[in-house]
Amino acid sequence: MRSDVGQVWLVGAGPGDPGLLTIAAARALERADVVVHDDLVSTEVLALARPGVEYIPVGKRGGLPSAKQSDIVELLIRRALAGDRVVRLKGGDPFIFGRGAEEAAALTAAGIPWEAVPGVSSGTAGPAYAGIPLTHRDFSSSVLFVTAHESDDRRRAPIDWNSVATAAETIVVFMGARRLREVARSLIAGGRGPETPVAVIRWATTPDQETYTGTLEDFATGSASDRAALRIDPPAIAVVGDVVRLRQEMRWFTDVEWTFGPLRTTGAFASGATTRPSEPVSPDLR
């Protein structure tokens, strides 16, 4: 390997709140000559890079013009071969539905040294900011992460939603904003109860966070007016399972809420004490 070859860091920027960025990620940004970043990375996080750094946006947004993955990989290799220290900055965690593994494999094949810097995933942080624990001794001892968006050129069988439906007590669905009705129907068809609570969290951990609640049946069969009112666009993450009921008692972060109707309370906290935002929640969506 040439001694003048640079290095690539595959860095998770976290879900949106810049306070959730790790120390390791901040240190990588301070060393970078080039920051190749996703569209959803906040300006506050980008500002942590050293003065004079070169920023290259390569964001991917559903339905909008996006950089090709092959072009992103070629860019990383080319800049590292030129001797640059490159941070590939991704929302959430680079190895949780972030294509970080594909980039790592390409860098290895090209002889480029690289390191992974894990990030806080929206799959855990989003529910936490919505007042929803993914596990609870009384309600859930298992969690499953699944994506609703698969590659057309995948080299494996498609997701078996019948298996997913009952594989875990809590299911976290990534990249499903535009397929909520289809996902809900698939889970019900696979044996998940239609009364199972669902929360969809949009712009998780940011001041613009929105949380939509209902049941699988609501999202699968809601009226045309309900579906029109929802209009949930990415980025969003969905949580399916009884732990969603705990939001009524554990909610601490002020967000905008839309609901099909109140979920049955759990009485999970013996003291009866609750934590709620000090500001009223508006039912209106932007």
So which residues are the catalytic ones?
38, 60, 175
Please give the structure tokens belonging to residue 232: 């949930």
Task: Determine the Cα–Cα distance for residues 125 and 18; give it in Å rounded to an integer.
Answer: 12
CA dist 248 and 251 (Å) reads 6
Quote the CA–CA distance of 20 and 278 in Å, as a whole number: 23
Q: Are 34 and 84 in contact (CB under 8 A)?
A: yes
**Pair of tokens at residue 104:** 């790592």
In our burial notation (b when 16+ CB lie closer than 10 A, e otherwise), range 96-105 reads bbbbbeebbe
- Reading the block at residue 202, the tokens are 């949009």
